[in-house]
Amino acid sequence: MPLYEHVKRQIAEAILIGELPPGTVLPGEVALADQYGVAVGTMRRALADLTAGGMLMRRRKTGTVVTGRASQHGLSFFFQYFRLLAEDGTLLHSEAEVLSVATHRATTTEAALFAIPENELLLDLHRIRHVDRVPVLHSRISLVAGRVPGFPRKTTAVPALIYRHLLEAYGIRIAAVREKLTAELATREDRKLLDLSAPNAVLVINEEAYDQAGTLAILSQHRATTAHHYYSNEIR
Q: What does the mean pLDDT of the chain come to?
A: 86
Q: Where do the structural domains in the chain lie, given as residue ranges?
A: 3-71, 79-231
**Sequence letter at residue 17:** I
Q: Is the fold of 3-71 the same as that of 79-231?
A: no
Answer CATH for 3-71 from 1.10.760.10, 3.90.1640.10, 1.10.10.10, 3.40.50.300: 1.10.10.10
69 vs 203, higher pLDDT: 203
Q: What's the pLDDT at 78? A: 44
Answer yes or no: pTM beyond 0.85.
no
Of 126, 229, 130, 227, which is closest to residue 186 (Cα–Cα)?
A: 227
DSSP state of 145: G
Q: Report the pLDDT averaged over residues 55-74.
A: 75
45-64 pLDDT, tens digit per residue, is 999 988 887 889 988 878 89
Measured distance CA(48)–CA(33) in Å, rounded: 14
What topology does CATH give the domain 79-231?
A: Chorismate lyase (3.40.1410)
To the nearest 10 degrees (0 to 180), the angle between helices 40-52 and 29-36 is 110
- pLDDT exceeds 50 at position 67: yes
